[in-house]
């Protein structure tokens, strides 16, 4: 059971992406109840979609491909990289898939479809304190999509392309934005871990309010960055999540603080706080710890103490994000200090959120530990 | 002193309200027509610019499909494999809503997610109504809130439409409310829907009409160019827009010229009025000169009066013109829609520049028209106690000069036409020179005509008859002007009327040659017949022969030409009327080794048999010989004609737009139609039309297209009638004194009445007769030169005797009618009163 409320994250992103364009350019009629929000939220609106109602037997590599009958799905890759000269970088590439109309009938046109894709590409240049990012949207219909044998996910010319086997590795990332480009190859250092109950990740008490979810928590990455017209050889570690389902929106949540951490002793940690409107933390907030050998165990809310230590104001206004934390896992004997490598890693598209590289320092049972990770912070903009 | 002159001028015109009123009306009508046409033209131009701007957005280039179309896969590869992200697919078509029959709506199929950077106005389309709805509901359309309101529709309402002949029900999924008023104008009568839905609606399969692109530099352009499918074309967006605008330029220029013709007739009225005023005020002007009024002051007075009449008429005319513009606009946009492309113009754009120009135009033309009479006035010697006969003597002495000037102008007109100048302006200049030259000849011709007329009238009506004819000759300084004004007006009726007749007759003849099958099967709209259906129909028993036709566009690298592909039933030299080229060559080579081009195409592209055209085909560029030029009135843009066999060699394309079936002997039309209906069944919604029905329909479209010409003719007639009335009324009133003298010497009221009526009738008839050669000459210039240069069509000149008779009768009738009031007045008034009045 991980990152449960990130479910709606892409929906908000998509909504925001579209409504932002609307705001700037024209004002189409707001038809009550039939807008994107109406179409993608609410239990009644989940009708027509496939639902996640219990564990399934994953079938790889097919399940690495798309599940178009479910409302949303993503391929989410983040990572920390270093150049030969020690320059450090963080990157994110995410492909989101949505089914925007489950009941669409048979159509004659090859361009007809109910699948909308969105991709986010971001690069953090730690030494120069720069954060670059770009968003793309497209219909499916060949312009964007995912497939297996060989594995590939693409939106226009941004793509993940992998092997023929049960695993997508080696996985190549190729994506270029206006002012930077990534060309990386990823290899798995640990096997895939199924989240929740063997990959069945419940989000709430209502049946169907769940997702299928698995991750690769440690991938070796190597390749090139193009930045400022310069080709930079880089290597480092990455993390990839796969998730799909048809979950619905919960009313009382404000946002989440989500962390993925890769320590130099070989352990990986995922943990999140789901923040409620009343200032509390949702008791379902959870995490997962993966040992160096790939064994994993769930972390409940009580297993982890998480405290914000420093805040940063967005230059765009209306938002104040935590950018440094103390995380203590008494059961694991870990006391960690987390801090953003660059404060401003806010993606200022239609939907504003913070997703960026963090540096980790602390003490373990056997001495000091260090590492890098990624944090995702949503629900901090006051105008939301 | 000048105040005194002004007062005198005012009193002169106040005493002649009829004359003044008719002059005002003439100017007002002339200006109204100019203003209306100009506003309509401008509004159409503006609507076109706005709509292309709104729909072009930031696009710099467009990839336009060739006959094979642009496969959606090509577009996908362009983005996915080559990274051209600022690209947006478009599928366009037109349909009609049954809520507003006869009005085309333009469907623009887009991908809202691809629009963001390309067309700002659609960037926000994916919200509100919902992206899911947009993409997944094939019936969902978005349109302007204003258009919805006009159609009485609300969001979620069904929108019944006729598309490709079949009834469909679309659904209004949302209203568009662009923030900029320009975008609102640009999106009028446009339905926005998903690109896939548009493909399905128009049965396009996987084809796109075009892909709009933003290309940043030449390298990007070259890269796209290299990726183009063989017969597609990459064009800068503004070039395509300019091409479309160019197509209508000749049409709009023609309208302007016709409107100026109306103003010219109006100017004649001013000339007429001012000349009369000078002639009548000779003694007064002589007295003024005697008491020291300078020539310049006289000149200023006359020109000032003309300017005032012109200004007053113009103000009325501008107001009238604005009202008339709404009617014109409808007609102009209808013609553009029929002849060129779908354009929606709903509002008259009151351009201040147009209005100010019009306000200046009226007075300036009036002053120019009054220049000759004003000059004449300055030549009046001080204390002129010249009798009318003296004045007439002067007028007669001046006649040779007028005659020579007139002949020089006519020669100039002819010279302009003979010079190898080309272009419309020399042609219109020649037309106007012709009219002016002819007008100057009128006094001399009128004088000559009255000799035999006097003899004839004497035989018929006795003394009043002879007197009437002689009166016309004696009063030539006045009757000549009236007759000239009348002649110009009537000739305009003949000229424009003959042009329309010529056009229609030529068109109808061409239809007869073209429509060689008995029954035509087609799919309405721009869709195509199913190939199997075509095969089945062509082998039906009862079918003796068949032909197929298909229209598409092919590119030569720079321009996209209309390409018509025929499989003929007859030999090509019989199926088309060959204007240029060798029939034998056409017969032997057309099937697989060459092209025919239509006449407008040959004119526009300056091509003749023996030249060749390079066409882009999927296999690369192919040079094809032009075998012949054929007559065609289907498109003013012109077209390239290719045999099906040749087309199939280059294009893998089975599409057929229509099939013509010829009945075997002994098979009735009903039987054939029945057999066709049975074969079609419900396989496809097709339209069956007999050749008569096609002919009928084509002529209907023709008439609709040229309604504007009829309206112009009507307006010219109206101005002409006003002109006739004004000229003859003025003449009649001016002669009040002469009539009083006649009464005083014993003519009975009835005799006088007859005399005046006869005289007016003679002037009317003479002007009508003189208008015949002028009208025919005008229509010759209009059909043989102006139309040819504007549209590339050659027309055979048709002058219907009925039209000539009608025009002459109209002139005669108008003459008689205009004589009624003066004659009635003259016969009623006591001679003594009339004599006293004139002296006072």
Q: Domain extents for chain B?
A: 1-58+246-386, 70-228, 441-515+701-840, 524-685
pLDDT of B747 > 90? The answer is no
Cβ A320 vs Cβ A306: under 8 Å: no
Six token digits for residue A82 = 């270093």
pLDDT confidence of B346, banded at 50, 70, 90?
low
pLDDT at B526: 63
**Can you tell me the mean pLDDT for A234-259?**
82
Q: For B513-546, what is each residue's pLDDT tens digit?
A: 778 888 888 876 666 788 888 888 888 888 888 8
| Interface probe, candidates B57, B135, B156, chain A, greatest A C-beta count within 10 A | B135
pLDDT at B834: 60
Beta strand A268-276 with A286-290 is: antiparallel
Domain boundaries, chain A: 4-24+48-377
pLDDT at B745: 82
| Interface probe, candidates A72, A109, A113, chain B, greatest B C-beta count within 10 A | A109
Instruction: Report yes or no: A349 at the B interface, CB cutoff 8 Å.
Output: no
Helix (H, G, I), strand (E, B) or coil at A100: coil
pLDDT at B342: 63
Q: What letters, b where the CB count within 10 A reaches 16 and e where it falls short, cover B514-538? A: bbbbbbbbbbebbbbbbeebbeebb
Six token digits for residue B185 = 């104008």
pLDDT of A231 > 80? The answer is yes
| Interface probe, candidates B73, B132, B209, chain A, greatest A C-beta count within 10 A | B132
How many angstroms separate the CA atoms of A40 and A14, rounded?
10
Instruction: Report yes or no: B133 at the A interface, CB cutoff 8 Å.
Output: yes
Q: What is the pTM of this model?
A: 0.73
pLDDT confidence of B395, banded at 50, 70, 90?
low
pLDDT at B658: 86
pLDDT confidence of B391, banded at 50, 70, 90?
low
| Residue from B772, B807, B726 nearest B481 by CA | B726
Highest mean pLDDT among A26-30, A304-308, B374-378: A304-308
How many angstroms separate the CA atoms of B118 and B214, rounded?
7
Residues 45-104 of B with CB under 8 A from A: 72-73, 76, 79-83, 85, 89
Q: For A97-150, what is each residue's pLDDT tens digit?
A: 988 888 888 898 999 999 999 899 999 999 999 999 998 889 998 999 999 989
Q: For A175-214, what is each residue's pLDDT tens digit?
A: 999 899 999 999 999 999 988 788 887 666 667 777 898 9
pLDDT confidence of A4, banded at 50, 70, 90?
very low
CA end-to-end span of chain A, whole Å? Answer: 26
More confident residue, A205 or B793: B793
pLDDT of B735 > 50? The answer is yes
CB atoms within 10 A of CB B748: 10
**Can you tell me the mean pLDDT for B641-655?**
88
In this prediction, what percent of chain B has a pLDDT beyond 70?
Answer: 88
pLDDT confidence of A80, banded at 50, 70, 90?
very high
pLDDT of A3 > 50? The answer is no
**Can you tell me the mean pLDDT for B274-302?**
80
Query: What are the φ/ψ torsions at residue B730 (nearest 5 degrees)?
Result: -60, -45
Cβ A373 vs Cβ A259: under 8 Å: yes
Residue B155 and residue A31: Cβ atoms within 8 Å?
yes
B145 CB neighbours in chain A (<8 A) are 29
Which is it for the CA torsion B240, B241, B243, B248, positive or negative?
A: positive
How distant is the alpha carbon of residue B432 from its chain centre? 18
CA distance A272 to chain B (A): 32
What's chain B's average pLDDT?
Answer: 81
Question: DSSP alpha helices (H): ranges in B179-236?
Answer: 181-186, 195-201, 218-227
More confident residue, B582 or B425: B582
| Residue from B82, B148, B78 nearest B111 by CA | B78
Question: What secondary structure does DSSP assign to B502-521, as a single string?
Answer: HHHHHHHHHHHHH--SSEEE
How many angstroms separate the CA atoms of B99 and A109, rounded?
28
Instruction: Report yes or no: B207 at the A interface, CB cutoff 8 Å.
Output: no
pLDDT of A82 > 90? The answer is yes
How many angstroms separate the CA atoms of B126 and A15, rounded?
9
pLDDT of B5 > 60? The answer is yes
pLDDT confidence of B831, banded at 50, 70, 90?
low
How many angstroms separate the CA atoms of B616 and B651, rounded?
10
Residues 241-260 of A with CB under 8 A from B: none
How many angstroms separate the CA atoms of B686 and A4, rounded?
56
Instruction: Report yes or no: A23 at the B interface, CB cutoff 8 Å.
Output: yes
Comparing B136-145, B165-174, B409-418, B555-564, which segment has the lowest mean pLDDT?
B555-564
pLDDT confidence of B159, banded at 50, 70, 90?
very high
Beta strand B140-144 with B166-176 is: parallel
pLDDT at A20: 38
DSSP label of A332: G
pLDDT at B817: 78
pLDDT at B839: 45
Comparing A53-67, B413-427, B439-453, B616-630, which segment has the lowest mean pLDDT?
B413-427
Residue matched to tokens 């109206």: B718
* Closest Cα in chain B to A110: B206
More confident residue, B818 or A218: A218
A4-24+48-377 has which fold?
A: AttH-like fold (2.40.370)
How many angstroms separate the CA atoms of A323 and A344, rounded?
9
Q: For B55-74, what is each residue's pLDDT tens digit?
A: 777 788 889 888 777 899 99
Facing A112 at nearest CB: one of B79, B179, B196: B196
Query: What are the φ/ψ torsions at residue A222 (nearest 5 degrees)?
Result: -150, 145
pLDDT at A303: 93
How many angstroms separate the CA atoms of B232 and B557, rounded?
9
A21 CB neighbours in chain B (<8 A) are 116, 123-124, 126-127
Residue B127 and residue A138: Cβ atoms within 8 Å?
no
Q: At CA B539, angle to CA B537 and CA B543, rounded to 5?
A: 85
What's chain A's average pLDDT?
Answer: 84
Question: What secondary structure does DSSP assign to A267-317, as a single string?
Answer: -EEEEEEEEETTS-B-TT-EEEEE-TTS-EEEEEGGG-EEEEEEEEE-TTS
Beta strand A171-176 with B519-522 is: unpaired
pLDDT confidence of A34, banded at 50, 70, 90?
very low
Can you say whether residue A28 is alpha, beta or left, with left for phi > 0 and alpha for psi between -120 and 50 degrees?
A: beta
Residue A101 and residue B137: Cβ atoms within 8 Å?
yes
Q: For B227-271, what is each residue's pLDDT tens digit?
A: 988 788 888 887 767 766 666 676 777 777 777 777 777 777 777
pLDDT of B124 > 70? The answer is no
Comparing A134-148, A351-365, B284-298, which segment has the lowest mean pLDDT?
B284-298
pLDDT of B135 > 50? The answer is yes
pLDDT confidence of B451, banded at 50, 70, 90?
confident
Q: Which residues contact B430 (CB under 8 A, 6 or more apart)?
A: B412, B413, B414, B416, B417, B781, B785
Q: How many CB pairs under 8 A join A and B?
A: 173
Cβ B733 vs Cβ B823: under 8 Å: no
| Interface probe, candidates A12, A33, A156, chain B, greatest B C-beta count within 10 A | A156
H/E stretch holding B316: helix B295-339
Q: Which residues pair with B238 in a beta bridge?
A: none
**Can you tell me the mean pLDDT for B552-558?**
81
Residue A31 and residue B120: Cβ atoms within 8 Å?
no
pLDDT confidence of B394, banded at 50, 70, 90?
low
């Amino acid at each position: 059971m991980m990152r449960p409320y990130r479910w709606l994250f892409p929906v908000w992103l998509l909504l925001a992406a579209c409504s932002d364009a609307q705001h700037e350019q024209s004002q189409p009629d707001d038809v009550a109840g039939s807008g994107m929000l109406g179409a993608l939220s609410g239990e009644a609106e989940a009708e027509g979609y496939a639902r996640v109602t219990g564990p399934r037997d994953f079938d790889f590599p097919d399940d690495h491909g798309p599940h178009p009958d479910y409302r949303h799905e993503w391929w989410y890759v983040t990572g920390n990289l270093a150049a030969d000269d020690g320059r450090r970088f963080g990157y994110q590439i995410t492909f989101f898939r949505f089914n925007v109309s489950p009941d669409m009938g048979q159509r004659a046109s090859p361009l007809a479809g109910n699948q909308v894709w969105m991709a986010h590409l971001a690069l953090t240049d730690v030494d120069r304190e720069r954060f670059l990012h770009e968003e793309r949207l497209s219909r499916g219909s060949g312009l964007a999509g995912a497939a297996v044998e060989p594995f590939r996910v693409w939106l226009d010319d941004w793509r993940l392309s992998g092997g023929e086997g049960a695993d997508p590795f080696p996985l190549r990332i190729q994506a270029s934005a206006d002012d930077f480009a990534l060309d990386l190859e990823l290899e798995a250092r640990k096997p895939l871990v199924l989240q929740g109950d063997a990959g069945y990740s419940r989000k709430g008490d209502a049946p169907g309010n769940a997702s299928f979810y698995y991750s690769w928590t440690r991938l070796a990455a190597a390749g090139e960055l193009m930045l400022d017209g310069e080709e930079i050889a880089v290597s480092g570690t990455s993390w990839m999540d796969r998730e799909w389902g048809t979950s619905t929106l919960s009313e009382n949540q404000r946002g989440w603080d989500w962390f993925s951490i890769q320590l130099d002793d070989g352990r990986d940690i995922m943990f999140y706080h789901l923040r409620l409107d009343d200032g509390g933390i949702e008791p379902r907030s959870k995490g997962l710890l993966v040992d160096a050998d790939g064994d994993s165990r769930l972390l409940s809310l009580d297993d982890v103490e998480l405290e914000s230590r420093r805040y940063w104001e967005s230059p765009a206004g209306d938002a104040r994000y935590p950018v440094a934390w103390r995380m203590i896992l008494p059961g694991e004997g870990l006391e960690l200090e987390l801090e953003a490598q660059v404060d401003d890693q806010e993606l200022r598209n239609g939907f504003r959120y913070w997703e960026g590289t963090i540096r980790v320092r602390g003490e373990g049972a056997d001495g000091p530990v260090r590492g890098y990770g990624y944090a995702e912070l949503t629900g901090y903009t006051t105008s939301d | 002193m000048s105040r005194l002159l002004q007062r005198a001028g005012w009193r002169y015109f106040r005493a002649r309200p009829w004359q003044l009123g008719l002059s005002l009306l003439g100017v007002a009508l002339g200006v109204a027509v100019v203003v209306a046409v100009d506003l309509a033209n401008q509004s159409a131009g503006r609507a076109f610019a706005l709509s292309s701007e709104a729909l072009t957005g930031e696009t710099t280039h467009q990839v336009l499909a060739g006959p094979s179309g642009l496969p959606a896969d090509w577009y996908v590869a362009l983005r996915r494999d080559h990274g051209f992200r600022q690209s947006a697919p478009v599928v366009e078509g037109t349909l009609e809503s049954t809520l507003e029959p006869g009005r085309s709506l333009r469907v623009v199929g887009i991908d809202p997610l691809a629009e963001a950077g390309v067309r700002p106005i659609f960037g926000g389309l994916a919200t509100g109504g919902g992206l899911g709805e947009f993409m997944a509901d094939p019936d969902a359309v978005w349109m302007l809130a204003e258009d919805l309101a006009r159609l009485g529709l609300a969001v979620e309402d069904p929108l019944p439409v006729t598309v490709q002949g079949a009834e469909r029900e679309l659904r209004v999924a949302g209203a568009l409310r662009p923030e900029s008023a320009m975008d609102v104008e640009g999106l009028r009568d446009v339905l926005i829907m998903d690109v896939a839905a548009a493909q399905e609606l128009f049965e396009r399969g996987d084809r796109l009409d075009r892909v709009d692109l933003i290309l940043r530099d030449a390298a990007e352009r070259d890269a796209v160019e290299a990726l183009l499918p063989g017969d597609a074309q990459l064009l800068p967006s503004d070039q395509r827009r300019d091409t479309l605008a160019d197509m209508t330029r000749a049409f709009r220029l023609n309208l302007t010229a016709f409107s100026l013709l109306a103003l010219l007739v109006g100017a004649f009225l001013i000339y007429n009025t001012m000349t009369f005023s000078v002639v009548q005020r000779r003694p007064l002007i002589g007295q003024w000169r005697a008491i020291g009024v300078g020539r310049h002051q006289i000149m200023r007075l006359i020109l000032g009066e003309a300017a005032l009449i012109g200004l007053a008429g113009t103000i009325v005319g501008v107001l009238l013109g604005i009202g008339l513009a709404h009617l014109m606009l409808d007609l102009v946009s209808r013609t553009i829609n029929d002849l060129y492309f779908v354009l929606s113009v709903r509002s008259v754009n009151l351009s201040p520049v147009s209005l100010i120009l019009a306000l200046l135009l009226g007075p300036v033309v009036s002053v120019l028209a009054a220049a000759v009479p004003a000059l004449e006035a300055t030549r009046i010697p001080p204390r002129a106690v010249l009798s009318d006969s003296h004045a007439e003597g002067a007028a007669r002495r001046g006649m040779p000069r007028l005659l020579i000037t007139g002949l020089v102008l006519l020669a100039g007109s002819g010279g302009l036409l003979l010079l190898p100048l080309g272009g419309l302006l020399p042609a219109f200049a020649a037309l106007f020179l012709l009219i002016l030259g002819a007008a100057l000849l009128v006094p001399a011709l009128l004088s000559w005509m009255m000799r035999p007329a006097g003899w004839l009238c004497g035989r018929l009506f006795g003394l009043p008859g002879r007197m009437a004819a002689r009166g016309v000759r004696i009063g030539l300084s006045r009757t000549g002007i009236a007759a000239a004004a009348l002649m110009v007006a009537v000739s305009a009726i003949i000229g424009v009327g003959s042009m329309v007749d010529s056009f229609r007759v030529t068109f109808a003849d061409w239809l007869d040659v073209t429509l060689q099958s008995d029954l035509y099967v087609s799919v309405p709209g721009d869709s195509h017949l199913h190939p199997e259906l075509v095969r089945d129909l062509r082998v039906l028993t009862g079918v003796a022969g068949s032909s197929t036709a298909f229209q598409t566009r092919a590119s030569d690298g720079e321009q996209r030409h209309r390409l018509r592909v025929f499989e003929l039933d007859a030999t090509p030299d019989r199926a088309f009327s060959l204007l240029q080229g060798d029939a034998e060559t056409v017969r032997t080579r057309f099937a697989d080794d060459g092209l025919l081009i239509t006449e407008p195409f040959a004119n526009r592209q300056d091509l003749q048999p023996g030249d060749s055209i390079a066409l882009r085909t999927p296999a690369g560029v192919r040079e094809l010989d032009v075998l012949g030029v054929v007559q065609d009135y289907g498109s003013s843009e012109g077209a390239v004609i290719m045999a099906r066999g040749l087309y199939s060699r280059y294009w893998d394309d089975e599409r057929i737009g229509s099939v013509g079936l010829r009945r075997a002997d002994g098979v009735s039309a009903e039987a054939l139609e029945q057999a066709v209906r049975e074969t079609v069944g419900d396989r496809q919604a097709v339209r069956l039309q007999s050749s008569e029905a096609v002919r009928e329909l084509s002529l209907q479209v023709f008439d609709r297209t040229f309604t504007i010409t009829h309206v112009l003719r009507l307006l010219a007639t109206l101005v002409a009638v006003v002109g006739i009335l004004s000229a003859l009324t003025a003449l009649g009133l001016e002669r009040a004194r002469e009539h009083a003298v006649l009464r005083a010497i014993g003519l009975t009221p009835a005799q006088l009445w007859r005399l005046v009526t006869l005289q007016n009738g003679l002037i009317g008839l003479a002007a009508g007769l003189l208008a015949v050669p002028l009208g025919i000459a005008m229509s010759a210039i209009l059909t043989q030169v102006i139309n040819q240069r504007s549209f590339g069509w050659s027309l055979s000149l048709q002058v219907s005797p009925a039209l000539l008779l009608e025009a002459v009768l109209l002139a005669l009738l108008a003459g008689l009618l205009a004589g009624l009031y003066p004659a009635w007045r003259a016969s009623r008034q006591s001679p003594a009163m009339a004599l006293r009045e004139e002296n006072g």
